C-alpha cells in the first residue's frame, strides 16, 4: 500500500540534497570550531559560512544569528533570556492565546518568577487583532511574543503590523516562526522583528538544530552556561553537520518556495472545497484566506478526530488531530478552545498538512477517503444520532 503522508507540520523528512551536503562534516571535516589548528579552522569556516548564508534566508545580518538545538531552545533563549536581561526595565510580557505550548509553558514559568503575563485573545479564525493587542500594552511591557502562524489551524498573523506597534512603543517583538518557515518569505526588517525562533527540520533540514535571530540592541541573557560558544550566548560545541544542513535546507527553500507554495495551495484549496462539499456537517477551522498554503484543518460534528485518524491510518493515510506536541494528551487543543470551540467540537478536528514530497494523487486519495470514513463513524456515534441528524 502506498503511504500518503499528510502530517508535514509535525515532522519532515530531511531532503536528500541536504544530507549530501552534511555528510563530509561527520568524518572528513569533523573539527571543533574552538580548536586553533587546521582541522578546527575548517569547522570555523563552515560555521561562519553557514551563518552568513542562512542570514540571507531571513534578510538579516550574520552577526544577529545564534545557532541552537532547535526551536524550543531558541524560544527559551528569546523569552527567558530577554526577560532576565531586561527585568529592570519592566516585568510585563504579552503573548497570544494561541502560542505554541513551549511559549505558554515558559510564560507560566516566568509568571512564577515575578513576571506579569497578559494573553491576547484571538477571534473565531485564530487571528490576533492588533487594536486588542495594543490595548494590553503598558509602560512596563518589555516583550511581545506572537507566533507568525499557527502550527495547528494555519492562521497567519498580521506580523508586520504587530512589529510596527512594538517598534513605535520601544518594546521587543519576538515571533516563533516555526510553522511559517518555508511557506512565507521571512523578512525581519520588513516586519520589524527583533527576535525570531526557527527550526531546521521545518525546512527539511535535520532535527536538533535551530537558530535565534537577535537584532542588535536586543540582547538576551544566556540560558546555557558553559564554554562560551556563540559569543557567550549559547555554550556547547557547535553541531557543524547540523548547522551546515540547516544552511543547505534554507538555500534550497529560497529557490523552491514560490513553486512549492503554489503547488500546496492547489492541494489545500481542492481538499478544503471537496471535503466541505462532500461531507455534511463539516467545518473549516482557521482563517478562510489568511492561512498557510499547506494547511487544511477541519472539524466534523458528532465524531472524534482520533477515530478519523485511526480509520485513515488503516487506509495508509497519515494525518493529525491537532498539535503533535500534545496529541498524546486527552486535553483538547488550547488553540481550538481559544477560537471559541467547545470541547466536543475541538475533539472532532483533523489537521492535514502538505509538504515537499506530496504528489497530486495524495490530495485525491484523502478527498476520496474522508467522506466514507466520516459517514461510517457517524453511524456508530451516539452523539451524532442523538442530534437527530
- x-marked contacts with ligand PMP along 184-213 as a string, rule CB under 6 A: ---------------x--------------
Is residue 294 involved in binding ligand PMP (CB under 6 A)? no
Range 243-262, binding ligand PMP (CB under 6 A): none
Sole window of 70-78, 136-144, 250-258, 298-306 interacting with ligand PMP (rule: CB under 6 A): 70-78
In angstroms, rounded to a whole number, what is the distance separating the alpha carbons of residues 310 and 72? 29
Residues 6+ apart with CB under 8 A from 43: 25, 29, 30, 31, 32, 33, 35, 238, 240
Binding of ligand PMP by 70 (CB under 6 A): yes
**Residue 320 binds ligand PMP (CB under 6 A):** no
User: Of 46, 117, 171, 179, which one interacts with ligand PMP (CB under 6 A)?
Assistant: 179
We find the least distance from the C-beta atom of residue 244 to ligand PMP, in angstroms, to be 18
- Among residues 83, 107, 178, 220, the one that binds ligand PMP under rule CB under 6 A: 178
Q: Which is nearer to ligand PMP, 247 or 378 (CB)?
A: 247
Q: How far is CA 381 from the centre of its chain?
A: 34
Tell whether residue 223 is a contact of ligand PMP (CB under 6 A).
Answer: no
The one segment of 39-47, 67-75, 85-93, 269-277 that binds ligand PMP by CB under 6 A: 67-75
Q: Which residues are catalytic?
A: 325
Q: With contact defined as beta carbons under 8 Å apart, do 300 and 279 qualify?
A: yes
Nine cell digits for residue 193: 522583528
Backbone φ and ψ for 335, nearest 5 degrees, come out as -70, -45
Cα–Cα distance for residue pair 18/295, rounded to 1 Å: 24
Q: Identify which of 99, 93, 151 has the alpha carbon closest to the alpha carbon of residue 122.
A: 99
Beta carbon nearer to ligand PMP, 147 or 245: 147
Binding-site size, ligand PMP (CB under 6 A):
12
Total Cβ atoms within 10 A of residue 55: 20
What are the start-end ranges of the E strands in 186-264? 195-199, 210-214
The C-alpha cell at 153 is 489551524
Q: Which residues bind ligand PMP (CB under 6 A)?
A: 70-72, 100, 102, 147, 151, 176, 178-179, 199, 325
Amino acid at each position: 500500500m502506498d503511504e500518503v503522508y499528510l502530517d508535514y507540520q509535525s515532522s519532515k523528512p530531511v531532503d536528500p540534497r541536504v544530507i549530501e551536503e552534511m555528510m563530509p562534516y561527520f568524518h572528513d571535516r569533523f573539527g571543533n570550531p574552538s580548536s586553533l589548528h587546521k582541522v578546527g579552522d575548517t569547522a570555523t569556516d563552515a560555521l561562519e559560512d553557514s551563518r552568513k548564508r542562512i542570514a540571507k534566508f531571513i534578510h538579516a545580518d550574520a552577526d544577529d544569528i545564534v545557532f541552537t538545538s532547535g526551536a524550543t531552545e531558541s524560544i527559551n533563549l528569546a523569552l527567558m533570556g530577554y526577560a532576565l536581561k531586561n527585568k529592570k526595565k519592566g516585568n510585563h510580557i504579552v503573548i497570544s492565546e494561541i502560542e505554541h505550548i513551549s511559549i505558554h509553558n515558559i510564560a507560566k514559568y516566568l509568571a512564577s518568577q515575578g513576571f506579569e503575563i497578559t494573553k491576547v485573545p484571538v477571534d473565531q479564525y485564530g487571528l490576533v487583532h492588533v487594536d486588542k493587542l495594543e490595548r494590553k500594552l503598558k509602560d512596563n511591557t518589555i516583550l511581545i511574543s506572537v507566533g507568525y502562524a499557527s502550527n495547528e489551524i494555519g492562521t497567519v498573523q498580521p506580523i508586520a503590523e504587530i512589529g510596527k506597534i512594538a517598534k513605535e512603543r520601544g518594546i521587543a517583538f519576538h515571533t516563533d516562526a516555526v510553522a511559517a518557515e518555508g511557506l512565507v518569505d521571512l523578512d525581519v526588517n520588513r516586519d520589524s522583528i527583533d527576535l525570531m525562533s526557527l527550526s531546521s527540520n521545518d525546512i527539511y533540514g535535520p532535527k536538533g538544530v535551530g537558530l535565534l535571530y537577535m537584532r542588535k540592541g536586543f540582547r538576551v541573557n544566556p540560558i546555557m552556561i558553559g564554554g562560551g560558544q556563540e559569543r557567550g550566548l549559547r555554550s556547547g560545541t557547535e553541531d557543524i553537520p547540523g548547522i551546515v544542513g540547516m544552511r543547505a535546507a534554507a538555500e534550497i527553500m529560497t529557490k523552491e518556495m514560490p513553486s512549492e507554495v503554489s503547488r500546496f495551495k492547489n492541494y489545500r484549496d481542492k481538499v478544503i472545497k471537496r471535503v466541505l462539499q462532500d461531507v455534511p456537517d463539516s467545518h473549516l477551522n482557521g482563517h478562510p484566506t489568511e492561512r498557510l498554503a499547506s494547511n487544511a484543518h477541519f472539524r466534523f460534528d458528532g465524531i472524534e478526530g482520533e477515530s478519523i485518524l485511526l480509520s485513515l491510518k488503516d487506509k495508509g493515510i497519515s494525518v493529525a488531530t491537532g498539535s503533535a506536541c500534545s496529541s498524546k494528551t486527552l486535553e483538547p487543543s488550547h488553540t481550538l478552545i481559544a477560537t471559541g470551540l467547545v470541547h466536543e467540537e475541538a475533539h472532532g478536528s483533523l489537521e492535514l498538512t502538505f509538504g515537499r514530497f506530496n504528489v497530486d494523487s495524495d490530495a485525491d486519495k484523502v478527498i476520496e477517503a474522508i467522506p466514507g470514513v466520516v459517514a461510517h463513524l457517524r453511524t456508530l456515534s451516539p452523539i451524532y444520532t442523538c442530534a437527530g441528524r
